[in-house]
Amino acid sequence: MEWFLELNTEDQEFVKQLVLSSGSLKQLAKIYDVSYPTVRTRLNMVIQTINLIDSKQANSFEGRIMKMVIAEKISLDVAKEIISDYREANK
Protein backbone atom coordinates (compact mmCIF):
# COMPACT_ATOMS: atom_id res chain seq x y z
CA MET A 1 0.00 0.00 0.00
CA GLU A 2 3.05 2.23 -0.18
CA TRP A 3 1.86 3.47 -3.59
CA PHE A 4 -1.00 5.32 -1.87
CA LEU A 5 1.37 7.13 0.46
CA GLU A 6 3.48 8.25 -2.49
CA LEU A 7 0.51 9.93 -4.17
CA ASN A 8 0.14 13.64 -3.56
CA THR A 9 -2.62 14.75 -1.18
CA GLU A 10 -5.01 15.70 -3.98
CA ASP A 11 -4.67 12.30 -5.65
CA GLN A 12 -5.13 10.53 -2.30
CA GLU A 13 -8.36 12.48 -1.77
CA PHE A 14 -9.49 11.64 -5.31
CA VAL A 15 -8.94 7.92 -4.68
CA LYS A 16 -10.79 8.23 -1.36
CA GLN A 17 -13.77 9.90 -3.04
CA LEU A 18 -13.73 7.26 -5.79
CA VAL A 19 -13.98 4.50 -3.20
CA LEU A 20 -16.67 6.32 -1.22
CA SER A 21 -18.70 6.76 -4.41
CA SER A 22 -18.47 2.99 -5.00
CA GLY A 23 -16.31 3.52 -8.07
CA SER A 24 -18.94 5.56 -9.89
CA LEU A 25 -17.23 8.12 -12.09
CA LYS A 26 -20.61 9.70 -12.71
CA GLN A 27 -21.05 10.24 -8.96
CA LEU A 28 -17.49 11.49 -8.69
CA ALA A 29 -18.20 14.06 -11.41
CA LYS A 30 -21.11 15.33 -9.31
CA ILE A 31 -18.95 15.50 -6.17
CA TYR A 32 -16.29 17.56 -7.95
CA ASP A 33 -18.84 19.47 -10.05
CA VAL A 34 -17.04 18.64 -13.29
CA SER A 35 -17.86 16.65 -16.42
CA TYR A 36 -17.50 12.88 -16.68
CA PRO A 37 -14.64 13.19 -19.23
CA THR A 38 -12.76 15.45 -16.78
CA VAL A 39 -13.05 12.81 -14.05
CA ARG A 40 -12.02 10.09 -16.50
CA THR A 41 -8.94 12.08 -17.50
CA ARG A 42 -8.02 12.64 -13.86
CA LEU A 43 -8.45 8.94 -13.12
CA ASN A 44 -6.21 8.05 -16.06
CA MET A 45 -3.53 10.37 -14.69
CA VAL A 46 -3.77 8.77 -11.24
CA ILE A 47 -3.56 5.31 -12.81
CA GLN A 48 -0.42 6.33 -14.70
CA THR A 49 1.10 7.70 -11.51
CA ILE A 50 0.35 4.47 -9.64
CA ASN A 51 1.84 2.39 -12.47
CA LEU A 52 4.99 4.51 -12.37
CA ILE A 53 5.27 4.13 -8.59
CA ASP A 54 4.72 0.36 -8.89
CA SER A 55 7.37 0.00 -11.59
CA LYS A 56 9.89 1.90 -9.45
CA GLN A 57 9.05 -0.24 -6.42
CA ALA A 58 9.16 -3.47 -8.44
CA ASN A 59 12.71 -2.71 -9.53
CA SER A 60 13.88 -1.62 -6.10
CA PHE A 61 15.45 -3.83 -3.46
CA GLU A 62 12.37 -3.44 -1.27
CA GLY A 63 10.10 -4.28 -4.19
CA ARG A 64 12.01 -7.48 -4.86
CA ILE A 65 11.76 -8.44 -1.20
CA MET A 66 7.99 -7.87 -1.26
CA LYS A 67 7.70 -10.04 -4.38
CA MET A 68 9.34 -12.81 -2.35
CA VAL A 69 6.64 -12.38 0.29
CA ILE A 70 3.91 -12.60 -2.35
CA ALA A 71 5.55 -15.74 -3.76
CA GLU A 72 5.63 -17.09 -0.17
CA LYS A 73 9.39 -17.54 -0.31
CA ILE A 74 9.78 -15.54 2.92
CA SER A 75 7.38 -14.37 5.61
CA LEU A 76 6.17 -10.80 5.93
CA ASP A 77 7.91 -10.52 9.30
CA VAL A 78 11.24 -11.56 7.79
CA ALA A 79 10.72 -9.14 4.90
CA LYS A 80 10.05 -6.27 7.30
CA GLU A 81 13.22 -7.09 9.22
CA ILE A 82 15.31 -7.26 6.03
CA ILE A 83 13.90 -3.96 4.76
CA SER A 84 14.41 -2.30 8.13
CA ASP A 85 18.03 -3.46 8.22
CA TYR A 86 18.53 -2.31 4.62
CA ARG A 87 17.15 1.14 5.36
CA GLU A 88 19.30 1.45 8.48
CA ALA A 89 22.43 0.46 6.57
CA ASN A 90 21.68 2.95 3.80
CA LYS A 91 21.09 6.04 5.94
pLDDT at 12 (0 to 100): 96
What radius of gyration, in Å, describes the C-alpha atoms of the chain?
17
Residue 18 is part of which domain span?
Answer: 1-59
Same domain, residue pair 52 and 64: no
As a dihedral over the C-alpha atoms of residue 67, residue 72, residue 74, residue 78, rounded to 10 degrees, the angle is 80
DSSP state of 21: T
pLDDT at 1 (0 to 100): 67
Same domain, residue pair 66 and 84: yes
Same domain, residue pair 72 and 28: no
Report the C-alpha gap between 89 and 51 in whole angstroms: 28
Same domain, residue pair 8 and 27: yes
* pLDDT reading at 23 higher than 80: yes
Count of structural domains, the chain:
2
pLDDT tens digits for range 62-78: 878 877 887 789 998 99
Instruction: Tell me the HSE value of 55 on the side-chain side, using a 13 A CA sphere.
Output: 6
Same domain, residue pair 38 and 76: no
The closest of 13, 21, 2 to 46, measured between CA atoms, is: 13
Instruction: Supply the pTM of this predicted model.
Output: 0.64
60 confidence band (pLDDT: 50, 70, 90): confident
Mean pLDDT of 29-50: 94
Same domain, residue pair 19 and 51: yes
Select the highest-mean-pLDDT range: 2-6, 11-15, 80-84: 11-15
